[in-house]
Structure 1
Amino acid sequence: MMLRKDLRVVKLADLSADEGTLLLCHSARLATDLRRAHGALQAASGRPSWRALQSATMAMWLEHLCSGALLRGEIPPDSVPGVFLNKLQERSLWEQTILTDTKMSAVAAELFDTDGMAQVAMEAGNLSHVWRLTLPEAMQTEEWRAFERWQASVAAICEKNHWCTQTQALAWRIACISRGVTGLPTQIGIAGFMAPDPMLARLLVALETRGVRVFRLELGSAEAAQICRYEFADAQAECDAAARWAAKQLHDYICTSKNSRTPIRIRIAVADLPVRQRMLAAALDAALHPDWVGAAWAGHERDYQIIGTSVLADQPLVNVALSLLQLLVHPRRVAQADFGVLLCASGWSGDVSEADGRAQLEANLRERLSTVTTLDSIHAAVTRLHVELNIPRLFESLSAIVDATKQLRAQSKRQLPSAWAVHFVALLESVGWPGERPCIAAEQAACDALRESLTNLVTLDAMLGRVDSSVVLRHLQRQCRDQIFQAPRRVPAAVEVCSLTDAIAAPVDAMWVMGLIESAWPTVPRPNPLLPAEMQRRAGVNAARADSLASQAQAIQTLWRHGADEVVFSSATREGERELRASPLIATIKKTTLTRVVAVAETASKSDERLERFTDALAPAVTDAERVRGGTHLLQAQAICPAWGFYQYRLGSGVLPAPTDGLDAKARGALLHSALELFWRDRAQSDLLQMNAATRADEVSAAVENALVNYERHAIAVLPPRLRQLEHQRLVALLQTWLDLEAQRRPFRVLACEEKHNLNIEGLPVRVIIDRIDELDDGRLIIIDYKSGRKVSANTWSEPRISEPQLPIYAALAFPDRELAAVALARVTSDNPAFIGIAQAADLLPLVKALDDQRKHYPADEFADWNALRERWAERIKVVAAEVKDGCAAVVFDSDASV
């Protein structure tokens, strides 16, 4: 059912913008849009000047009208029903009421979505008041009874404190018109109201009673000359086509209207805009700005603008500020993942001058701290590392946060929201927010909006009283999540992307409405969950009635058909494995072939010719001044995939370690290496065999204890006692199991542990650390490399590209002049300890076969004898090292699993 069909209809072009005319619009955005469109029409008609159209929302105009009447003395101050609450205050009041009624503890309140329930309850209260809903006792549900309790409590609090809700304030202001306030316009038009609104109906009756002429503004014009419908395989194809279509519209306009003073306006309306926003933005970037590649273009205004989906909390600098305040309020529980994001974000402390050091710190903390840590632990880590990483400003900022938390703990834990706001502002200033570099316009607007939100916390003083900081921070975060943020622009965007609701606007040159599938258009009923759905349907609440929503959708679709010269409707046929059907409301529009869209794509692709394409398989050669790190791991990565070796060790890219609770695999492996080194240093097998069980147990325990002490000496904090005890027991058991295997070997003595060697392989400096070198009675050496994992293999030692090159490098290049008896990987595990490798002769190491017994892997024509084996290893390793030196970085690998 449409609103007031009896009202006379006026077109925007025929509307006179004199002092006696006012437009009441469904939204503030529509009011602004109509004001702009009216001005464009006046300019197009050749007028040199004109009066701007007066347009506003109903609430905005009534507030302005009554404020003026109060100043003129037409409304006695004592007749004002009380203090008018804003949305923030009213929602806070409902939230406090719900928490009191449910007797919820602070812990339970964190788990329960009180914000969401307060929003639903406030909306239910407004519906109940506006639609004058009543329910017989027999139909009352548990939700209704709970809502009635909350509503009665809110009403009692408001009456006691002389507060008025937003709906009550609106009703009182409408009543002021009936009581005779002056300053009414001669005629008032309504625009964009597509569904019945009882408050608007009461306002129109009051206006007409006072002699004001009321009309309805026709938003559209003549039906579009071209209306078509497309279907696409999926949402991605639909977004790509819409973006290319927009690019073609702009291209045609530039070619045909070079001297036009009226800019083109294109609108893309999206049914599920929050879901498709990123996809569509990427498609528009590719179509409209294909050569805008790199961070340097981030601050430039695009030819498109997405309307109404971005909230203040999502703006980078605001998000950083809220994260910093989270540290202040909750210093004893900090998720390392969240702190890592904050650490690498710009907008605070030395975000530009210390960016590299902060990134290195983030990688360090991942290895040193658990997944959930504390601010004090982070500060202790930074205290230890800030000189090495050259991050003095970050150290000062974190110290300021730590000092602020101590200061707040020393003060009263409960303060007024306005007092907490002062602390929040002081903290942000102390840590250098919003960063070192000057803000661009959009960033400055976001910062100003956050400062305004902080100032608005004073309005909660009367609602909340004295509360702790976490409550105030939660309200601030909610404000920022609820506030739509639109970045200011110097030049209006040619392409406007909006939701279907925001597409109820002034006419444009071309429009594409996408995502019109059966489940999205018309929208499905969403009655308020606290109120019985049947009661809402009987009362005529539009959001609860499928028939009303269908009629509204048809009316909006008719508006779209008259809203542009060219109108496109589209839908996707598939989402993943799910088949989709087009909305029945667009089924009557004949489907159009994709020929035109394909032609548009070909036109858009011509812009790609400006981009240079080249093959990047060859990187710059390693110079004498370049220091390439990685050691044997560099040669391992190069052998597996040259590109990966280049990315990881010359460019420094790689997967950051994942934070873990307790000790991660790397730390456990390091402890095992340390314990084995401490046990075997300056010892021989004979020393092991001479120990009785008690002595051996004491020696093993001492080695493990010393390893743990050495680990804790370099750690941020000591291990928790229980975890330390468990790790001690694990290592003792592991060493005892391994020593049983060592006792079965031929006699040997340990010549060296963790021995460092600096090699030069084909001009490439390689630094290696050999886990252990044993010497047999005959003087030959056995080189051992510890492995703590279960997957240990030496299978690639016979291949042209050795992907496990540590021991071949040691055997062929670290000791070229020494006699070697064997090289082996030592799999030190509790369930299946073993030596894995190759020996010159049999029985040198348990289960390690001689070269002659492994001819399946080491054919005689390539590996004739032991010396030939070492020579082949040297040759093949030098080939890989030469690749690194020459800059070989091709993407070549044997299998996906190896990369």
Structure 2
Amino acid sequence: MIDTFPTITLEALSRLDTQDVLVLTVNNRHARRVLAEMSASLTGTRSVMAVPDIIPLSAWLRQAADQLSFSPESGLAAHTLDAFGAQWLWQKVVGEAESDRALLDVAQAARLAAEADRLIDDWHIHIPPELETIDYQHFREWRRSYRALLARLDMEDSNLAYGRIVQAVVSGLLKKPAGTLVLAGFNELSPRLSGMLLAMQEQGTRLVVLERPAQEAETVRRVVASDPDGEWRLAVQWAAGQLRDHPQGRYAIVASRLEADVVLAHRCLRAELVDAQGNVLPYNVAVARPMSDWPLVAAAISWLRVLAAFVTKKTCPPADVGAALLAGACAAARHEASGRAAIDVFWRWRATVTVTEPGFARLLDQHAPQLAQAWRSSCDMLSEQSNSASIDVWVQRFRQSLQALAYPGQSVLDSHSYQQLEAFDGLMDNLARQAPVMGRVGFSSAVGLLQRLARETPFQPQRDPAARLDVLGFLESEGGHWDGVWVLGLTDEVLPAAPKPNPFVPLAVLRQARAPRATPERELHWAKTLYRSLLASAPQVWLSHAEYEGERELRPSPCIAAIAPSINVPEQAATAPCPLEYIPDEQGPPLQTGHSTRGGIAVIDTQARNPLWAFAKYRLGASELANYAELSDQNARGLLLHKAIELVWRMLPDQQALLDLYAQGSLRALLEQSAEQAADECLQDYGSVVRRLETDRTILILEQWLQLELRREPFRVRDVEQNYVWTHGALQLSLRLDRIDELEDGRLAVIDYKSGGGRLDPKPDWMRERPVGLQLPFYASVLAAEDARVAALVLARLHAREVEVKGLADADYGFDGLSTLTDWSMFAGSTWEQLMSEWRRIICQMADEYAAGVARNHSLRPDDIQYCDVLPFLRLNEEYTRVD
């Protein structure tokens, strides 16, 4: 159909009476290009030009709907839904109709249903009964319910409005838009659009197609890269070379998967596009991100989520409040940034599960007083206006509350930030227009709708006019013209792409209607059209594809397979090796006397694993930022077990008391009492059902453990959860022992409880040059300083799967699982006193190293740093990091 219309050049178009000309483009991008090309034709002798109306088809349809609204006989509804409102209604209809289908993705089904609805109308698709599918029958019921709901609400979506405009044009109710109608950027016309254009032609409108300049590529080369990353580097090196050789030229890189490769693209571009002064040359990457991903929009939504949670629920998860604090864009955004970060870190390290509004306000008073004042103003304002309301009312409340928070802060906005604010303001206006369809909603629901709209609305800052390089996707490149173009990713999976027929319209009907994306033939036709457009986009065109993606072999697109690969592949400029000077930095300043060191035995254990790790963590105070706490991550089960067994042995002084209680049949009652008391302290954030399950599990584990205690040799409990301080030179460490028993021979057994399910055997950790897992040997060393002789080091696993004991002992004290020195080959020739003395020497050596500032990046085994929380300090990518 499009080929039957006559063509017109830009020059001829500029000579027409612009007041009687309308240029309809396929989208906004083509409208801007047509305007730019007309402006480029201005010369010194012709500096002014009258320009006709150049608008996308969708914008003209909105104008026509506005014009028809003044005609009572047009039949237009009172409200026209935009895409967001229509999608919301579709989702509501589908959700209600399929409420019994829990596995149905309602949002995805609603999106495809809206697409099918427009597809059927655009392409005049009729589905005969014999071709109906189950999916189509479901869709037909949804469509009937959706349109009935629109009629009740006196609304119509853009699809129905399009149909009414076509009817108005055909009937003559809507007058012809112009004497000459110019189509720009259309590769094909749907039957509905064709019918409307023919009706305009019958009414006297002249229909023409804007002729694109006939520009065939003078040079077309095909490049084969080893992998997609190498392909990007080749393309960027080519662009950098072109810009150096032709600074006034305009070039483009067209990528088939730009959205997926955008991070790689930016990395390659910033590495290559560097001028002589070291500045990165400007470039444009045409990838629109959801508005919810842009910093100022994300900050506004984060603050509104926090306000909604505190106003309606009086509490808020720390992750949500932390996101708002770190996003800033509020009162004293720059001056109180460190204070806001300190609040966030406080919640992380304290493993806070829930933040209350009074608690949050107190922390703001302490760390961010200016924000505290703004917060109270905003919170008080919304507390008085928290009742449900229409969405336009909520938008007004959102604006007032953000203004009270001094959003977006007092700093000077750059161009991108200003554009974000403008786009966000438009987004709020768009949300307010949904009032007729949304009805009355609550605070949290209104914020959720705003967040969803921001997530579904793409935004891209305006193009940098100084940029000479554009990085675009296939669709964005259509109709563009440059001095040189590199097209990458041209595999047979991309051009042509696999068909994606709409599942709610029978495939046989789609094939018969030749609907877009429905059949391989349609995809091949689109691929050939796009390929011709790419070849006409520049005098010099490079076409590339990768041979492999990982281990998967890739094949070139059929469009380029006949072109022989070029041997003149741009190569990276050779660079002479740069001499590197290595400065070993393995020694820090000694520890000052009186300097407190937090971490307890972990300091010595970390020094044994990797001295640099210990120095960074405990001397520099560096560590990985903890995640926000969740109930499942709190180790409440381990805390509960530790607390319960502590309570048991605080009430039982020795084994004889345990035997007596067991003989009386009262042991179970003691365990239940201890478990309940421990649950009161450790399970405050859990519900009654989980609390009951966990206390029952704890009682079961304690019963199994105490059966082992009953079979031991006689003992007396000397200490439970006792705090000790160990001092060695300038180093002073505090530690806490789970339990110490005094045995029948007067010697001591040190017991450390483990509630996890990991490996318990300490043998490989203790029998090595620099022992790790030193809790029990270290405790023995501390007690030795008090002239107390330790005879048993006991690791006790308290777990529902297994209760067991591991460790070392100097004699048989009735604990099944304890080893003697003769059982471990490395210690077989030593006495118990010699082993204790050696361990004390090693522990003191580790303490001396730490206090002296030794910070070697040295580990005996790779798994020594498996749980390291300062990995960047260890420079694992450097050759001089040793793992022996």
Instruction: Tell me the TM-score normalized by structure 1.
Output: 0.81
CA distance in 2, matches of 1:432, 1:340: 17
C-alpha displacement of 1:119: 3.6
For 1:487, the equivalent position in structure 2 comes to: 461
* Residue of 126, 132, 139 corresponding to 2:124: 132
Going from structure 1 to structure 2, the CA distance change for 1:195 and 1:836 (only over 3 Å counts) comes to same
- Aligned AA for 2:843? I
Shift in Å, 1:109 = 9.7
How do 1:359-378 residues align onto structure 2 when only pairs under 5 Å count? 359-364=344-349, 367-369=351-353, 377-378=354-355
* Partner Cα separation in structure 1 for residue 173 and residue 676 of structure 2: 90
SS state at 1:229 partner: strand
Q: Could you tell me whether the CA contact under 8 Å between 2:93 and 2:146 is conserved in 1? A: no
Alpha carbons of 1:218 and 1:388: their partners in 2 closer, same or farther (altered >3 Å)? same
User: Residue in 1 aligned with 2:573?
Assistant: 602
Give 1:632 shift: 1.2
Higher mean Cα deviation, 634-643 or 55-64? Answer: 55-64
Range with greater deviation from structure 2 (332-341 or 547-556): 332-341
Query: How far does residue 128 in structure 1 lie from its aligned partner after superposition?
Result: 3.2
Deviation per CA, 1:514-570: give whole Å up to 9, x if none: 222222212333333333333333334333343343233212211211212321222
Q: CA contact under 8 A between 2:255 and 2:472: conserved in structure 1?
A: yes
> How far is 1:700 from its partner?
4.1
Contact 1:809 1:874 in 2 (8 A): yes
**Superposed CA offset, 1:458-482 (max 9, x none):** 4333334445567655654443233
SS of the residue aligned with 2:537?
A: coil
321-330 or 280-289: which moved more? 321-330
Tell me how far apart the structure 2 counterparts of residues 42 and 833 of structure 1 sit (CA, whole Å).
88
SS at match of 1:449: helix
1:342-384 per-position Cα deviation (integer Å, ceiling 9, x unaligned): 356414667724333343244257x454xxxxxxx43279469
- In structure 2, the partner of 1:310 is 289
- 3-state SS in 2 of match to 1:633: helix
The residue aligned with 2:221 is 228
Matched, 1:750 2:717: yes
Q: Would you say 1:618 and 2:589 are equivalent positions?
A: no
- Matched to 1:785, the amino acid is D
Q: Any gaps of 5 or more consecutive residues in structure 1?
A: 294-299, 370-376
Amino acid of the structure 2 residue aligned with 1:318: V
DSSP-derived class of the 1:652 partner: coil
Q: Retained in 1: the 8 A contact 2:80–2:156?
A: no
Asked whether the equivalents of residues 65 and 183 of structure 1 are also in contact (C-alpha less than 8 Å), the reply is no
SS in 2 for 1:502: helix
**Distance change (3 Å), C-alpha of 1:870 and 1:470:** closer
Contact 2:239 2:251 in 1 (8 A): yes
Distance 1:147 1:51 in 2: 49
Output one character per residue of 1:212-260: Cα deviation in whole Å (capped at 9) or x when no partner: 655433445532233222233333332333333333333333xxx4xxx
CA displacement at 1:827 relative to structure 2? 1.0
**What secondary structure does 1:543 align onto?**
coil
Cα distance in 2 between the residues matched to 1:169 and 1:279: 42
In 2: Cα distance, 1:292 partner to 1:710 partner: 63
1:190 deviates by 2.8
1:483 Cα deviation after fit: 2.1
Moved more, 701-710 or 565-574: 701-710
How many Å separate the matches in 1 of 2:717 and 2:725?
Answer: 21
Match of 1:793 among 752, 761, 782: 761
**Residue 637 in structure 1 maps to residue 618 in structure 2:** no
Which residue of the partner structure matches residue 19 of structure 1?
18
> Equivalents in 2 of 1:101, 1:749: separation in Å?
70
Q: Where do residues 372-451 of structure 1 align in structure 2 (5 Å cutoff)?
A: 377-379=354-356, 382=359, 386=363, 390=367, 411=387, 413=388, 415-429=389-403, 433-434=407-408, 439-451=413-425
How many angstroms apart in 1 are the aligned matches of 2:527 and 2:516? Answer: 12
1:175-324 correspondence runs (5 A): 188-198=181-191, 200-202=193-195, 204-205=197-198, 214-219=207-212, 221-253=214-246, 257=247, 262=248, 264-288=249-273, 303-323=282-302
CA distance in 1 between counterparts of 2:301 and 2:752 reads 49
AA aligned to 1:455 is: D
Q: 2:427 aligns with which of 442, 449, 453?
A: 453
Deviates more, 1:503-512 or 1:813-822: 813-822
SS at match of 2:475: coil
Question: What secondary structure, in the 3-state scheme, does the structure 2 residue paired with 1:4 have?
Answer: helix
Matched AA of 1:516? L
**Amino acid of the residue matched to residue 569 of structure 2?**
R
Instruction: Give 1:653's aligned amino acid.
Output: S
Q: Which secondary structure state, in structure 2, belongs to the residue aligned with residue 190 of structure 1?
A: strand
Judged with a 3 Å threshold, the aligned counterparts in structure 2 of structure 1 residues 29 and 874 are, in CA distance, closer, same or farther, namely same
Mapped partners of 2:693, 2:827: distance in 1? 43
> Any idea what SS the aligned residue of 1:544 has?
coil
Q: Secondary structure at the match of 2:721?
A: strand
Offset of 1:28 from its aligned partner?
0.1
CA–CA separation in structure 2 for the residues paired with 1:143 and 1:855: 69
Which sits farther off after the overlay, 500-509 or 472-481?
472-481
Query: Relative to 1, partners in 2 of residues 1:786 and 1:320: Cα closer, same or farther, differing over 3 Å?
Result: same
Q: Which moved more, 1:345-354 or 1:192-201?
A: 345-354
Q: Give the match for residue 875 of structure 1.
A: 841
* 8 Å contact from structure 1 (residues 755, 769) kept in 2: yes
The answer (yes or no) to whether the contact 1:30–1:192 under 8 Å persists in 2 is yes
* Residues paired across the two proteins, number: 850
Q: Is the Cα–Cα contact under 8 Å of residues 220 and 507 in structure 1 kept in the other structure? A: no
Alignment partner, residue 4 of structure 1: 3
1:801 Cα deviation from its structure 2 partner: 1.0
CA contact (8 A) 2:784 2:790 kept: no
Cα offset, 1:669, TM superposition: 2.7
Is the alpha carbon distance of 1:844 and 1:870 closer, same or farther for their aligned partners in structure 2, counting shifts above 3 Å?
farther
- Given the superposition, is the C-alpha separation of residues 755 and 890 from structure 1 closer, same or farther in structure 2, using an over 3 Å criterion? same
Give 2:54's aligned amino acid.
Answer: S
Q: CA deviation at 1:141?
A: 4.1
Structure 1 residue 792, shift from structure 2 partner: 2.0
Does structure 1 retain, via aligned residues, the 8 Å contact 2:510–2:518?
yes
* Counterpart check, 1:770 vs 2:737: yes
Contact 2:90/2:114, CA 8 A, preserved across alignment = no
Q: Secondary structure at the match of 1:134?
A: coil
Q: In 2, are the aligned partners of 1:308 and 1:484 still within 8 Å (CA)?
A: no
Q: Partner amino acid for 2:235?
A: A
Once residues 349 and 109 of structure 1 are traced to their aligned partners in structure 2, the CA distance between those partners, rounded to angstroms, is 44
**Partner SS state of residue 825, structure 2:** coil
RMSD: 4.6
| Residue-by-residue CA offset, 1:639-697 (whole Å, 9 max, x unaligned) | 22334434544443247468555685x33333333333333348234444444343444
2:32 corresponds to which residue? Answer: 32
Sort the Cα spacing of 1:631 and 1:455 in 2 relative to 1 into closer, same or farther, 3 A: same
What corresponds to 1:784 in structure 2?
751
Amino acid in structure 1 at the alignment position of 2:539:
D
Aligned mates of 1:459, 1:499 — CA distance in 2: 32
Show the 5 A alignment for 1:528-677. 528-593=502-567, 596-597=569-570, 599=571, 601-602=572-573, 618=586, 620-621=588-589, 623-624=591-592, 628-649=597-618, 650-654=620-624, 656=626, 661=631, 664=634, 666-677=635-646
Given the alignment of the two structures, is residue 826 of structure 1 paired with residue 795 of structure 2, yes or no? yes
Looking at structure 1, the residues matched to 639 and 159 of structure 2 have their Cα atoms a distance apart, in angstroms, of: 66
1:843-873: CA deviation from partner (whole Å, max 9, x where unpaired): 586654444x25612264xx5x444333322
Counterpart in the other structure of 1:711: 682
Once residues 642 and 445 of structure 2 are traced to their aligned partners in structure 1, the CA distance between those partners, rounded to angstroms, is 49
CA pair 405-549 structure 1, distance change in 2 beyond 3 A: same
Q: Distance in 1 between matches of 2:313 and 2:47?
A: 65
Matching residue of 1:346: 327
Show the counterpart of 2:874.
none
Q: Aligned AA for 2:119? A: L
